[in-house]
Amino acid sequence: MTAFVGTDIDRAASLLASGGLVAFATETVYGLGANAYDAGAVARIFSAKERPEFDPLIVHLGDLRWLPDVVASVPPLAERLIDAFWPGPLTLVLPKTNRIPDLVTAGLPTVGVRMPAHPLSLELLRRANVPVAAPSANLFGQVSPTTARHVAEQLGERIDYILDGGPCLVGVESTILDVSGDLPTLLRPGGLAVELIEAEIGAIRVPSPLSNENEPQLSPGRLMRHYATRTPLVIADREQPPPGNQSVGLLTLVAEAGDERYTAVEVLSARGDLTEAATQLFAAMRRLDARGLDLIVARPVSESGLGRAINDRLRRAARSSSLSRSDGRGLG
């Protein structure tokens, strides 16, 4: 079945409620949604994305009154975060209820849950009247979609409907924070800066991003090879010149002297704004990937604010951390 791209929210809601797969815009990226209570519908997500079942999904809420049906308990710290940042790009990992199928959580006793800030996605969830499990609406491991067209290019033949909500305003996935234990722990940097979270609740634990890729993941986005372009991508400082005799693209925060040496250049923010850069990141990666280049060189950004999330996506997309080591290994 070929997915139809449109703005019919009632059709999208009806499909979700009846076991269909619907891609929809959130403020972060486009998600591929299914009724979170329907294990059969959730299984279609994994099939459509070619996603391994050890990688859990995030459950999206349209109403806070649904929360007790999804999570077994909400500690005071989680309540503070919900009051401060929902709706918004923050996913909280909490103990799950039995209503959430194990397939959603990769068999783990916890579930990631959030309330998106995009008005169209909130209305869709409310009309469907069910929590919706939704990873990013792209083939597994590839660049996340920030427009309806991006979704159609990869999944148009595999899903039932694409609800077009325009370009995503945040541009990187939600920040994931585990609040199921004694110490809040960052599982994935994302669209909500860590500094804002710590200003609200104090210091949080930031563990190594490394994980055993053969075991259930604590959250989405932790696999070391993820968000990948088809064209090999490497991370390099500005001092490293592009390799000769190759067609090389550059992904950079701001334009700098010498960038004309590259075949194609994508500037994420002419004014060096990391929020704007996050919004542009995945679309810029897609444009470079479509150029038929031999290599994409990405320059890292400051680790402040949304820079942490940008660098995380670049590291997971990269074949190497330097121009001299483009050997196909992920970053260690």
Determine the Cα–Cα distance for residues 206 and 218; give it in Å rounded to an integer. Answer: 14
Residues 105, 185, single domain; the answer is: yes
- Which of 161, 183, 201 is the endpoint of a domain? 201
Q: Determine phi and psi for 147, rounding to 5 degrees.
A: -140, 160
> What range does the domain containing 53 cover?
4-201
Q: Which two tokens stand for residue 104?
A: 């959603």
**280 CA to centre of own chain:** 14
Residue 152 scores a pLDDT above 50: yes
Interior angle at CA 261, CA 260 and CA 262, nearest 5 = 90
Q: Could you tell me what percent of the chain has a pLDDT over 70?
A: 89
User: H-helix or E-strand containing 33?
Assistant: strand 30-35
Is the bond preceding residue 87 a cis peptide, omega within 30 degrees?
yes
CATH number at residue 171: 3.90.870.10
The single-letter code of the amino acid at 59 is V
Residues 176, 260, single domain; the answer is: no
The residue among 225 and 3 whose pLDDT is bigger is: 3
Q: Is the distance from CB of 162 to CB of 22 less than 8 angstroms?
A: yes
pTM over 0.75? The answer is: yes
The single-letter code of the amino acid at 9 is I
Give the total number of structural domains in the chain.
2
What digits encode the pLDDT tens for the residues 207-259?
876 555 555 666 665 556 567 899 999 998 877 778 778 999 999 999 998 89
Residues 174, 251, single domain; the answer is: no
Of the chain, the end-to-end C-alpha distance in Å amounts to 40
- Which of 201, 224, 254 is the endpoint of a domain? 201
Q: What is the pLDDT of residue 233?
A: 95
Which strands form 4-6's sheet, in the order they lie side by side?
A: 4-6, 161-163, 22-25, 30-35, 132-133, 58-60, 110-114, 90-95, 175-178, 185-188
Residues 187, 251, single domain; the answer is: no
Residue 162 lies in a domain: yes
Nearest to 66 by CA among 127, 132, 131: 131
Question: What pairs with residue 142 in β-bridges?
Answer: 228
Residues 64, 180, single domain; the answer is: yes
The single-letter code of the amino acid at 153 is E
Q: What is the pLDDT of residue 328?
A: 27
* Residue 169 to residues 266, 276, 280, 310, Cα–Cα distance (Å): 18, 9, 9, 15
Nearest to 115 by CA among 163, 154, 61: 61
Residues 6+ apart with CB under 8 A from 119: none
Residues 154, 248, single domain; the answer is: no
The single-letter code of the amino acid at 264 is A
Residues 254, 149, single domain; the answer is: no
Determine the Cα–Cα distance for residues 13 and 45; give it in Å rounded to an integer. Answer: 16
Interior angle at CA 25, CA 23 and CA 29, nearest 5 = 100
Determine the Cα–Cα distance for residues 249 and 261; give it in Å rounded to an integer. Answer: 9
Q: What is the pLDDT of residue 219?
A: 63
What digits encode the pLDDT tens for the residues 41-70?
999 999 999 998 888 999 999 999 999 999
Determine the Cα–Cα distance for residues 91 and 150; give it in Å rounded to an integer. Answer: 23
The single-letter code of the amino acid at 183 is L
What digits encode the pLDDT tens for the residues 115-128?
999 999 999 999 99
Average of per-residue pLDDT across 181-202? 95
Q: What is the pLDDT of residue 213?
A: 55
